[in-house]
Amino acid sequence: MSEWLRGGPFLEVSFLLPLQENKEKTIRSIINKLLESHYRIQVADNNVDDLISSFVLGYPYDEEDLNTVFIHTLKLRLLVAFPRQRKAYLHIEQISSNSIIVDFCFFGDVADVPEWNQVGVRNDEYVDFKNFLIDLFKIYDFIIGGISWEEDVKFLFGCNEVYPNECYQYQNISPDYFLQTPSYFTDVIWNQKYKEIEETRYPHTRLDENAILITFREM
């Protein structure tokens, strides 16, 4: 079977959630809530239950080590209308005992690639991804979410350990780090229920009493 997405670079819209329930309920809830988006999102895989079961079971990081950690990860193929329909991968990964990363991965080159049925991201279309991130916050009430090329929000922890690792517990992510450290992120939404941002030198907008949208660079 050919790859769903090919080439690159890839534009990633990702966010961090606490693992509050058992793995199966958490993953099913994440996937089911896709229907609540204002954007039309279609799952292109027909074996979702099998993929969820594989996530719950996991696989050993090192099959020869009896004490090895287990990797819990899932990848779904999606079609998302922005309004141009785009193919995407939805990656869901458990990165610590209490944290889940949800990552929408899109083809991010400025030019379309018709032979692969992939549309690019024109400068005037970037706002669609920013609005998509805002829409996702309204649905998931995540801890932090952001838009970047070739990175997801686990890089905003400042932890250089291989995951899963307990340094990626959601309590360890802080604006004290990511507001001071350069990254490839263009926009980040921070949920101030976890920590209030008193001030920042970056342009920002308060979306509601909890959410603050910070723009690190304009596209």
pLDDT in tens, 69-101: 889 999 999 999 998 999 999 999 999 999 999
Q: What three-state secondary structure class fits 114?
A: helix
154-211 pLDDT per residue, tens: 999 999 898 999 999 999 999 999 999 878 899 999 999 999 998 889 999 999 989 9
Question: What is the C-alpha to C-alpha distance for residues 173 and 219, in angstroms, rounded to an integer?
Answer: 25
Token duo for residue 100: 């889940």
* pLDDT tier for residue 149 given thresholds of 50, 70 and 90: very high
Asked if residue 155 lies in contact with residue 26, where contact means CB atoms within 8 angstroms, the answer is no
Token duo for residue 116: 């692969």
Does residue 63 or residue 149 have the better pLDDT? 149
* pLDDT tier for residue 1 given thresholds of 50, 70 and 90: very low
Angle, alpha carbons 173-28-54 (nearest 5°): 90
The per-residue pLDDT for 190 is: 97
Question: What is the C-alpha to C-alpha distance for residues 200 and 8, in angstroms, rounded to an integer?
Answer: 32
190-204 pLDDT per residue, tens: 999 999 998 889 999
The per-residue pLDDT for 172 is: 96
As a whole number, mean pLDDT of residues 132-141 equals: 97
pLDDT at 218 over 70: yes
Q: How many CB atoms lie within 10 A of CB 195?
A: 14
DSSP state string for 64-87: T-TT--EE-EEEEEEEEESSSEEE
Question: In Å, how far from its chain's centre is CA 58?
Answer: 20
